[in-house]
Amino acid sequence: MAPFHEQMRNIDVVHDLMIHDLYLVHALSGKHFEELHTFGITDENPSHASVIARSKEGMIVELTASFVQRKKYAPLSFLQKMRTFQLTY
């Protein structure tokens, strides 16, 4: 998540931030998503988006991308049957 900058007005958070998170999840887990649930706040372009995704094997991933935060903050969670990974970058 990052603060809104005027030059970002024509860019949405999904294309700017979340797409990288999705690639990262796939690279770290090797899993493909079977189910996606998305939520967001949109003006002209999405400025805040959340995704909960589930893989065929049952791994659950929670992603949030936002331009409405005061500070840069990027939480990422992987939930599996016997373990949980949480990343903030």
List of residues 6+ apart from 2 with CB closer than 8 A: 17, 66, 67, 69, 72, 73
Which pairing describes strands 46-55 and 33-42: parallel, antiparallel, or unpaired? antiparallel
Task: Report yes or no on 78 lying in a domain.
Answer: yes
Q: How many distinct structural domains can be found in the chain?
A: 1
Q: Which domain holds residue 19?
A: 6-88
Question: Does 55 fall in a domain?
Answer: yes
Domain annotation covers residue 64: yes
- Token couple for 85: 């990974």
Residue 58: the pLDDT is: 87
Instruction: Kindly state whether residue 1 falls inside one of the protein's structural domains.
Output: no
In a domain, 16, yes or no: yes
Which tens digit of pLDDT belongs to each residue from 2-55? 444 555 455 665 666 677 788 888 887 888 889 988 887 766 766 777 888 888
Dump pLDDT digits (tens) for 55-69.
888 888 888 877 666
